[in-house]
Amino acid sequence: METDWDAVRSRTLRVRSALTDRSGSPLLPGHRPPAPLTDSELTDAEQQFGVTLPGGYREFLLHVDSGGIGPVNLRRLSRSSGCWAWEDDQETDHGALTTPFPDQDSYEGQWDELEAMKPQLSDEAGWAAWNRRSNDLERAQTTGVVYLSDNGCGFYTLLVVSGTERGNIWFDRRASSDVIVPLRHQDGMHVTFTDFYLDWLRAAEQTLAARGGLVRSYDIQAPIWERRFDD
């Protein structure tokens, strides 16, 4: 079933006008949310990155907006000084967006091997080399992804843009468990960006209907997002 993204924008605007932060202050005081990108803007960004962004996310950027509140405060894609980037994003490796997202199961053994190679505490040179290897391994684990949002405490929401998982949403929870996991439906199927966004939007609408008036954004419990720590 095709998604009516123009209708999604209208629904999004209604929801956002009723959302507040933790203190109860409106999230969008006195101004409108970011406008969608134009076709030429999106084409320009994709040419810079060297990839065509996944279909659902492209439609979101073209018809809803370039980022903003949404689920987990999606980072905004914007242009500054002639270059495109996701705002407040220090994690996405633009140079690795064309490199396929790797099989995450293959990294469990590599991290075990690296852990076994930790040097003695007094070996400064050994620790420097070990840290370089650890950083390289971390970067290799997230090629072909956009860090869509920073969820705090070292957790991130990822959109895969290259490889067999292209278009799917993954959750980086290496801060607590050294793994990156796919978000899944109840039947175990992987979640696309469209699934992820519409699940949040439905949950937001239901919360507003149940409570009326203003609703704090963190009170919206989207079913897909709530399963991010499930194994």
Rounded Cα gap, residues 209 and 203, in angstroms: 10
Does position 215 have pLDDT exceeding 60, yes or no?
yes
Does position 45 have pLDDT exceeding 70, yes or no?
yes
Task: Note the pLDDT of residue 148.
Answer: 96
* Tokens read off for 117: 């190679």
Rounded Cα gap, residues 27 and 31, in angstroms: 10
3-state secondary structure labels for all residues of 143-154: CCEEEEEECCCC
The residue-averaged pLDDT of 68-81 equals 86
CB 63 within 8 A of CB 7: no
**In whole angstroms, what separates CA 124 from the centre of its chain?**
36
* Tokens read off for 136: 């390289």
| The most confident of 23-27, 92-96, 126-130, 206-210, by mean pLDDT | 92-96
Query: Which residues does residue 145 pair with via DSSP β-bridges, in sequence order?
Result: 160
Question: For 136-154, how does the pLDDT look when each residue is reduced to its tens digit (9 = 90+)?
Answer: 888 899 999 999 999 989 9
Does position 112 have pLDDT exceeding 70, yes or no?
yes
Q: CA-based diameter of the chain, in Å?
A: 61
Query: Letter for the amino acid at 49?
Result: F
Which candidate, 13, 136, 118, 24, places its Cα nearest to that of 69?
13
Coil, strand or helix at 187: coil
The residue-averaged pLDDT of 114-137 equals 84
- Dihedral sign from CA coordinates of 7, 11, 17, 22: negative
Angle, CA 168 vertex, CA 91 and CA 27 arms, to 5°: 60
Tell me the pLDDT of the chain averaged across its residues.
90
pTM assigned to the model: 0.90
Coil, strand or helix at 182: strand
pLDDT band, residue 64 (cuts 50/70/90): very high
Domain spans in the chain, listed from the N-terminal domain onward = 5-101+142-226, 104-141
Task: Note the pLDDT of residue 28.
Answer: 62
Q: Which CATH number fits domain 5-101+142-226: 3.40.50.300, 2.40.30.10, 3.30.2270.10, 3.40.1580.10?
A: 3.40.1580.10
Does position 216 have pLDDT exceeding 70, yes or no?
yes
Rounded Cα gap, residues 204 and 21, in angstroms: 14
Does position 12 have pLDDT exceeding 70, yes or no?
yes
Question: For 166-199, how does the pLDDT look when each residue is reduced to its tens digit (9 = 90+)?
Answer: 999 999 998 888 789 999 999 999 999 999 999 9
